[in-house]
Amino acid sequence: MLFRSKKKNTGDYAMKNFIKNHKILSSLIVLLLLLVSFLGYIVYDIGRVLDPQVYYNEDARKKINSFFGYTIPDSTKDHFYFYQAFQDSSCWISFTVSEKDAWKIIKKFIKKDKRDFEPLTMPHTSKEYPQMDTSKLKNPLVYQIQKPGITKTIIYDNVTQRLLIWTLTM
């Protein structure tokens, strides 16, 4: 052959092009699958976050200890812990505790004592979470802290010996 074509052999060129395109296509499919998996996890995780976390008894005691940052007395019982967050977070805590221990816990938590509290005038009824129902309390005292971005409500009833705490963080 006197003249060699500068054109590549169309068969070889097509095969190399096919292999190159196949690798790119495979990589794109893998990346797409990873992206879909990641988005699926995000949707699952957001759904999980939107569900309230509700704990009772010993599981609640652990959460309450974590909330306070110290161990509450062993004499406490009937523990309840509720936490829900999305844009705002809400935490509800309730347990039975002697008056002496209750005021120690309150003093550590908000640095207030019994004389700072007032009688509760507007009871709250909760059918879904009766642990947070203040309508059944006999002699409840309440103290509320409202600061920008956070509200804390603490209620103690010396007759039923129930301590209830609501926190709302915005």
Distance between CA atoms of 156 and 166, rounded to whole angstroms?
A: 12
pLDDT at 11 over 60: no
Number of domains in the chain: 2
Q: Does 156 lie in the same domain as 146?
A: yes
How far is Cα of residue 169 from the mean position of the Cα atoms in its chain? Answer: 12
The contacts found for 133-136 with CB under 8 angstroms, 24 or more apart, are 134/164, 136/160
User: Going by C-beta distance under 8 Å and a sequence separation of 6 or more, which residues neighbour residue 126?
Assistant: 132, 133
In a domain, 132, yes or no: yes
pLDDT at 3 over 60: no
Q: Does 131 lie in the same domain as 95?
A: yes
CB 117 within 8 A of CB 142: yes
Q: Which pLDDT score is estimated for 46?
A: 63
In a domain, 2, yes or no: no
Q: Does 83 lie in the same domain as 16?
A: no
DSSP state of 134: G
Q: How many CB atoms lie within 10 A of CB 72?
A: 21
Distance between CA atoms of 128 and 115, rounded to whole angstroms?
A: 32
Residue-wise pLDDT for 51-86, tens only, equals 889 999 999 999 999 999 999 999 999 999 999 987
Q: Does 83 lie in the same domain as 57?
A: yes
pLDDT at 5 over 60: no
Q: Does 22 lie in the same domain as 59?
A: no
Q: Which pLDDT score is estimated for 101?
A: 97
Q: Does 80 lie in the same domain as 15?
A: no
Residue 165 β-bridge partners: 93, 154
Q: Does 71 lie in the same domain as 18?
A: no
Domain of 153?
Answer: 53-169
- pTM beyond cutoff 0.75: no
CB 150 within 8 A of CB 165: no
Q: Which pLDDT score is estimated for 23?
A: 74
The identity of residue 96, as a single letter, is: T
Task: Label residues 29-60 b or e (16+ Cβ within 10 Å = b).
Answer: eeeeeeeeeeeeeeeeeeeeeeeeebbeeeeb
